[in-house]
């Protein structure tokens, strides 16, 4: 058998230049930083570098041992896809109609408190980015930008308002009227925070509003002078809903929340709100059924990002059963643990009409203000489109439960609690 010898030659400059292409350097440091972020976790790493520990941990942390947060994240990681083959998805359309209006993507910005502490642009950055992307923005009762200023930042987009029922009911009612007058189209009546959750990271950091200048705070600020310059040279950090801003986060929450909140409060708010109303913080099938029987427009399956009751149910695990029970009669949404566009696709496949992202949005905000939020949305959009294409589906309506299997690291030994809640 003969031996074939590869003919060798001197490198040809023209051939080398065909292989080597020099990329024009990006001189805008923020843009270069954000462009290098390919995942939400990349944005999280940037956010951690650029934000003082107390503010970052408030976003990143959860209640007590943070089990609910980890389990909720693991629930999305523990799925198995079943793609359709030989079904070309040439044109991906991830738009949807939610609560009577359009959304360019199957997710919106979740309501978050203390947002201007993460970055001075705060809710204005979130609302503006959401408006540009054509998705809803949600303002929290504990937001640091007023209802009217959010409307000004997102005048033609969809704005939603998240309501806590406070001890002083008139304060809550006034917020309802203001949100309606500003044209907010959906109210999120929140039920999972009758008292403040015990967030150990915040306690250890001495997290308060405004930030307290301790020796640890000063040391932590030394490598992040830009954050303090922004904080000290922009308007005072205040809450749109609270008359006092001093004290720890737990003290503020406990002054605003009311453990006596009841179905009567829901009925009162429902009667005064002219738009769509959804109940956020539903954690059992039985409660979802009861709420739909009372005529709410939708429910958000949520354990508050794991920030309230640790070891609470995982919303993504609840989703299929809630959809079977009430999905034909109300809009079912889900949050908590979403860090990838594939998570959103999985939720839609199992029957969710919409999802909300909180931490992912705040990581982008901390990483680069409005541009960072836009980067969050862009990353999730790309992941949604790519996942749909690989599954062989062109529209959200084509997603079906057969496309995904929920695996589980935590299997109940008994189902008595689930059965009891179902029987309510």
Active site residues: 304
Distances (CA, A) of 103 to 40, 51, 95, 140: 21, 31, 6, 20
Distances (CA, A) of 166 to 209, 242, 255, 272, 275: 19, 10, 8, 16, 21
Contact 53/205 with Cβ under 8 angstroms? yes
Contact 406/320 with Cβ under 8 angstroms? yes
**What 3-state DSSP class applies to 282?**
strand
Q: Which of 369, 387, 361, 281 is nearest to 108 (CA)?
A: 361
Contact 100/72 with Cβ under 8 angstroms? no
User: What spatial distance separates the first Cα and last Cα of the chain, rounded to whole Å?
Assistant: 82
How far apart CA 261 and CA 66 sit, in angstroms, is 25
Contact 357/109 with Cβ under 8 angstroms? yes
CB count within 10 Å of CB 276 equals 18
Contact 98/342 with Cβ under 8 angstroms? no
Contact 355/338 with Cβ under 8 angstroms? yes
Query: Residue 359 CA to chain centroid, in angstroms?
Result: 5
Query: Residue 114 CA to chain centroid, in angstroms?
Result: 15
């Amino acid at each position: 058998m003969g031996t074939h010898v590869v003919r060798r030659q001197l490198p040809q400059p023209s051939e080398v230049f065909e292989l080597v292409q020099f990329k024009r350097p990006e001189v805008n440091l923020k843009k270069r930083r954000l462009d290098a972020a390919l995942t939400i976790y990349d944005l999280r790493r940037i956010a951690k570098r650029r934000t003082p520990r107390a503010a970052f941990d408030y976003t990143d942390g959860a209640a007590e041992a943070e089990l609910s947060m980890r389990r909720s994240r693991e629930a999305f990681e523990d799925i198995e896809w079943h793609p359709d083959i030989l079904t070309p998805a040439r044109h991906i359309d991830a738009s949807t109609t939610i609560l009577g209006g359009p959304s360019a993507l199957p997710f919106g910005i979740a309501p978050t408190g203390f947002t201007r502490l993460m970055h001075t642009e705060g809710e204005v950055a979130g609302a503006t980015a959401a408006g540009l992307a054509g998705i809803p923005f949600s303002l929290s009762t504990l937001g640091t930008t007023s209802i009217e200023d959010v409307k000004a930042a997102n005048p033609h987009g969809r704005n939603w308002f998240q309501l806590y029922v406070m001890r002083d009911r008139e304060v809550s009612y006034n917020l309802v009227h203001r949100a309606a007058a500003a044209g907010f189209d959906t109210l999120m009546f929140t039920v999972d925070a009758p008292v403040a959750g015990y967030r150990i990271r915040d306690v250890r950091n001495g997290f308060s509003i405004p930030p307290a200048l301790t020796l640890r705070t000063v040391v932590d600020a030394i490598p992040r002078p830009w954050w303090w310059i922004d904080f000290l040279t922009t308007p005072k950090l205040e809450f749109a809903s609270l008359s006092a801003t001093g004290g720890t986060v737990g003290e503020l929450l406990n002054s605003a929340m009311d453990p006596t909140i009841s179905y009567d409060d829901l009925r009162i708010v429902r009667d005064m709100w002219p738009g769509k109303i959804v109940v956020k913080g539903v954690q059992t099938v039985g409660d979802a059924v009861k709420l739909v029987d009372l005529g709410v427009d939708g429910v958000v399956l949520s354990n508050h990002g794991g920030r309230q009751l640790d070891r609470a149910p995982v919303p993504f695990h609840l989703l299929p059963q809630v959809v079977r029970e009430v999905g034909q009669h109300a809009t079912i949404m889900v949050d908590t643990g979403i860090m990838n566009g594939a998570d959103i696709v999985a939720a839609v496949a199992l029957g969710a009409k919409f999802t909300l992202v909180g931490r992912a949005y705040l990581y982008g905000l901390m990483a680069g203000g409005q541009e960072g939020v836009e980067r969050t949305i862009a990353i999730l959009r790309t992941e949604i489109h790519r996942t749909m294409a690989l599954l062989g589906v062109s529209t959200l309506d084509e997603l079906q439960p057969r496309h995904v299997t929920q695996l589980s690291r935590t299997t109940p030994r008994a189902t008595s609690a689930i059965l009891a809640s179902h029987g309510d």
